[in-house]
Chain A
Amino acid sequence: MILFSLFLFLMIFLSLSMGYIRIPITDIFQILITKTASSLYSFKDINETHLAVIMDVRLPRILSCACVGAALALSGVLFQGILLNPLADPYTLGVSAGAAFGACIAIILNLSNAFVSVPVFSFIGACLTLFSVIFLSYSPKNPTAGLSSNNLILSGVIVAAILSAGISFLKFIANEQVSVIIFWLMGSFASKTWSNVFIIMIFLMAGFFVSIFFARDLNLISLGAKSASSLGVDLKKVIFILLLSGSLLAAVCVSISGIIGFVGLLVPHMVRFITGPDNRKLIPLSMLSGAILLLFADTITRAVLPHEIPIGVLTALTGGPVFCWIFKKNRFK
C-alpha cells in the first residue's frame, strides 16, 4: 500500500511536469512549497507562467482525475461486492445512462451557458435513475428478496435501456448541439477547476469512510444472504447504505468527467489478484490503483499524444484488451 501511495505521488509530479509547456520537477517543488507553506519558506524566482499553469490548470485537472479514478474503482468494488458479481461496475445500475440523459437535457435546453448546469443536471439524472432502480427492485412485502442482486441488475438494465433510447432521441432532435453531447458522453478532464476537486474529494472521503466501516460486512455478504444474516450482518441496512454510496460516487464522477468506462470494472479485478478478496485490503488498494491508472491515461491523452483523445475512449480502448488478456490468463491456467 505504501508502495502504491508512493507511486501515485510520483505519478502526480511526473504528470505535473509533462505537457505542452515542460516544467522541471524542481520548479514544481518550489511552486508547491511556496503555495502550501509560504510561511516556512518561499522561493523568490518563480516563473509566473509556470505558477499559473501548475496551480490553475494542471493541478486541479490532475487531482480531479486521480480522485475520479479512485472513486470509480471504489464504486466498482462496492458494486461487485453487493451484487455478488465480478462483472458489475459503477454503471451496472444505469447511473451513467441517467447522468448522460440529464446532461443531454441540459445541453439541449442550452443551459450550458449557466456553466454549472450540465454537471448539476447529470447528477440529478443519475440520482433519479438510482432511486427508480431501487424502487423497481424493492418490494415492501418481501424486503429480504427485494434488493437481491438479480433484481437490481435487471432493473438497472431495463432503466438504462429506456434512458439510452431517450438519449438517442435527444441526439436526433439536437441538431447542431449533437457534437457537444457526443463529446460530453466520451468523457474528459479538460478545464477542471478547484471546485470540481473539492466536490469529488468530499464525496470520495465520505465514500471511503463508509465503505471501510462496512468492509467486513461486505466480506460476509459474499457468503450469501442467509449466512451473512446469521453471522450478524444487518443486510437491508448495509446493502442500502453501500449501494447508495457506490451510486453517488459514480454519479459525481460522471457529472464531473463524463462517462469513463472500464476503470470501475477492471481495477478491482486486477487488485483482487494481489490482495485476495478481503475488502479491507481491496478497498484502499483499488482506490490507489484507480487513481494511478486514470491519471496515467489522462497524462497520455494530455501530454503525450499529439491530439487530445477523450479519456473515456482511451480507457475503453486500452482497458478492454488488457481485461481480455487478464481474464484469459487467469481463468484458464
Chain B
Amino acid sequence: MEIRLHNVSFSYDAGMTIKAFSGSFSSGSFYSVIGPNGSGKTTLIDLISGFLKPLSGNIEINSLPVFSFSKKNLARLIAVVSQDHTVNFPFSVKDIILMGRHPYISRFSLPSAEDIQKVEKLMDICGISHLQDRKINELSGGERQRCVFARALCQETPILLLDEAFSNMDIHHTLQMLQLVKQSVKEKNRIVISVFHDLNLASTWSDSLLVLKEGELRAFGSSTETLTEEIIKDVFQVDSIVEYNQHVHAKQVYYPMH
C-alpha cells in the first residue's frame, strides 16, 4: 500500500493553502504532520482522504487516483478522525461506533453478528464499553474523541488519518490510543498520518515527520533529521533546545525561559 502525492496544490480563496506538495507514504509507517496554525495540516489530510479536490497535481493510492475510487470503496481504504467531533443528534455511543461498519454493510441489511462483535471488541479496547448506552452528545470532549477513534478503527482500513485526534484526551488515554495505533502500524502494516501540536509526542511515536509552513513542505524525514533548533525557529518562530532523550529514545524539544 502506498499513497503518492505529486505536485498537489490547493487553495480555498486567494492564497495557496497547499503549494506544490509532493511526497509519498508507505505501509508500516507512522507519519506525523507538524506545523503552525494555518500551515495546511488539515487541508493535507482532507486532500488525502478525498474530501477536498486538489486544484492541480494528483493523489494516488496504489497508483490509482483517489477520485477513481467510489466513496464506499474509499471508506474501506481510508478512515479519518477529524477535528470536529460534534454529533448533532443524540445517538448512543454504540450506534456511533457501529457507523464505522457502514462501508461493509449493504444498504438494506442489518449489521451481522461479526460487525457487532467487532464493535464490542473495539469499545473494550478503547475503554468505552461502560459508555455504550450513553448519548454521544452528553459525553465530555475526550470521551467523545475516544468514541470517534473507536469508530475509525472499526472501519478496519489500511490507512488511518488522524487530525489532532488526541487534542482533548488526558495523557493516560492519549498514550493508550497511541500505543494502539503504533501496534496496528507494525502488526497490520497500516499507514498512519497524524497531525500533532505536541512536537515531543510526534517525535516519540512517529517514524517520520512532515514539517509544514505556509502550505509548503519544509522537511520530511525521521525525527532525528527533521527536528532541529533551526527548523523550529524557522517554522514556529520560537527558541528551543532539541536534545536526544534516552527515556523515550527520540529527540525532545524544550523551550527555555528568557
A/B pair count, beta carbons within 8 Å:
79
| Contact residues on A (Cβ < 8 Å of other chain), bracket | 20 to 34
Q: Are A224 and B75 in contact (CB under 8 A)?
A: no
Q: Are B86 and A224 in contact (CB under 8 A)?
A: yes
Q: Are B88 and A227 in contact (CB under 8 A)?
A: no
Contacts of A231 in B (CB 8 A): 75, 99-100, 102-103, 155
Contacts of B90 in A (CB 8 A): 276-277
Q: Are A276 and B102 in contact (CB under 8 A)?
A: no
CA distance A222 to B137 in the complex (A): 12
CA distance A85 to B89 in the complex (A): 9
B211 contacts partner chain A, Cβ-Cβ < 8 Å: no
Question: Whole-angstrom distance from the CB of B235 to the nearest CB of chain A?
Answer: 26
Stretch at the interface among B18-26, B45-53, B112-120, B241-249: B45-53
A84 contacts partner chain B, Cβ-Cβ < 8 Å: yes
- With contacts A230-B78, A232-B75 known, is A84 near B88, CB below 8 A? yes
- With contacts A144-B52, A220-B102 known, is A227 near B148, CB below 8 A? yes
Partner of A222, one of B50, B84, B91, B152: B91
Query: For the complex, would chain A's binding face be called helix, strand, loop or mixed by DSSP majority?
Result: loop
CA distance A278 to B135 in the complex (A): 13
B82 contacts partner chain A, Cβ-Cβ < 8 Å: yes
Contacts of B91 in A (CB 8 A): 219, 222, 276-278
B229 contacts partner chain A, Cβ-Cβ < 8 Å: no
Q: Are A224 and B107 in contact (CB under 8 A)?
A: no
| Contact residues on B (Cβ < 8 Å of other chain), bracket | 35 or more
CA distance A183 to B98 in the complex (A): 50
CA distance A144 to B10 in the complex (A): 14
CA distance A144 to B54 in the complex (A): 13
CA distance A234 to B51 in the complex (A): 10
Contacts of B76 in A (CB 8 A): 232
A35 contacts partner chain B, Cβ-Cβ < 8 Å: no
Q: List 23 A-B contacts (CB under 8 A).
A: A81-B89, A86-B89, A142-B12, A144-B52, A219-B91, A220-B99, A222-B87, A222-B89, A224-B85, A224-B88, A226-B51, A226-B80, A227-B85, A230-B51, A230-B80, A230-B152, A230-B161, A231-B75, A231-B99, A231-B100, A232-B71, A272-B89, A278-B95
